[in-house]
Amino acid sequence: MKLKPRLFVPFLVICVLFAPRLRAQDNPPNDPDLKKMMEEAEDMQKEANELNKKNPPPPDAKKKLAEMAAQAKAEEARQEQEEKRENEKLQAVLKKQLEAPGPLAFPDWTPATPQFTAKGSPAKKIVDDEVRIIQTGTSTLTPNELLDAWKASVADKPLNNFSNNIRSNGSVTTRLFVSTRSGSEEKVTLEASREAGGKITLVKIYTALPKPNIDSE
């Protein structure tokens, strides 16, 4: 089925503006949907180019294409500025929360970590879009032994928990996420890792502070 040149105008705008950005994404071949979309876009763009060679669009169509491309670029720039402003507001609120005085404590139900040696006191840190209370240290137990100890500790409590394990070249990292089931959610995460052949497990325990309301600041 042959397509009329005017039908390609909106599509060409999308191809021209966003195809380079799609190619710039990290590791696009690893995303089959993105790869397929790029291939389809390139095929359709080639078909549009061939069709335009046979049936050149009238001057008013070229003008319309240029106007649509300009509008799309303007909208993209507007969205980027909006995202920038929102991120600046978020970072300002998080910084305020980070610097606010107050005790650094984990929820009362946080499991005890066997054979744990703390490295300093808990500290606050901005991570992504939240402020976390973080305690680091070491343990002579393996990551899986620490995982089992935490799971046993919360087994008879009204708490949810799930875990994951990552193994690479003999090294092991386990994470256990424990959270409340009702009321305002509280969550504590245990992260334990040990290098291949190691005797000491590096431990990180953290919980996030309640997210502040950006609009109220």
Considering the domain architecture, whether residues 130 and 51 belong to the same structural domain is answered as no
Mean pLDDT over the full length of the chain? 83
Between 177 and 213, residue with greater pLDDT:
177
C-beta atoms surrounding 129 within 10 Å: 11
Residue 57 region by backbone torsions, left for phi larger than 0, else alpha for psi between -120 and 50, else beta: beta
Residue 71 inside a domain? The answer is yes
**pLDDT, average across residues 100-129:** 93
| Paired strand residues for 117 | 138
Picking from 141, 132, 190, the residue whose alpha carbon sits closest to that of residue 164 is: 190
Give per-residue pLDDT as tens, 34-74. 677 778 878 888 887 777 777 766 777 778 888 888 888 88
Domain ends where: 97, 125, 153?
97
In angstroms, rounded to a whole number, what is the distance separating the alpha carbons of residues 166 and 77?
A: 40
More confident residue, 49 or 158: 158
Examine the domain organization and report whether 125 and 46 are in the same domain. no
Same domain, 93 and 119: no
Whether residues 143 and 62 share a domain: the answer is no
The rounded distance, in Å, linking the Cα atoms of 181 and 142 is 28
Percent of the chain scoring above 90 in pLDDT: 47
Domain end point (choices 97, 116, 142):
97
The percent of residues above 70 in pLDDT, for the chain, comes to: 83
Is residue 3, in this structure, part of any structural domain at all? Answer: no
Shared domain for 49 and 84, answered yes or no, is yes
Domain match, 87 and 137 both: no
Least confident of 94-103, 119-128, 202-211: 94-103
CA distance 63 to 79: 24
Domain housing 63 = 8-97
| pLDDT at site 1 | 47
Q: Quick one: which of 167, 119, 111 has its CA closest to 144?
A: 167
CATH number of the domain at 204, please.
Answer: 3.40.1000
Residue 69 in domain: yes
Please say which residue of 38, 71, 97 terminates a domain: 97
Tell me, yes or no, whether 16 and 86 share the same domain. Answer: yes
Could you tell me if 158 and 121 lie in one domain? yes
pLDDT of 142 higher than 90: yes
Q: Which residue has the higher pLDDT, 27 or 38?
A: 38
pLDDT over 80 at 25, yes or no: no
26 and 126 housed in the same domain: no
Q: Is the pLDDT of residue 170 over 70?
A: yes
> At 141, is the secondary structure helix, strand, or coil?
coil
Residues 37 and 116 grouped into a single domain: no
pLDDT band at 22 (very low <50, low <70, confident <90, very high): very low
Q: Are residues 73 and 143 in the same domain?
A: no
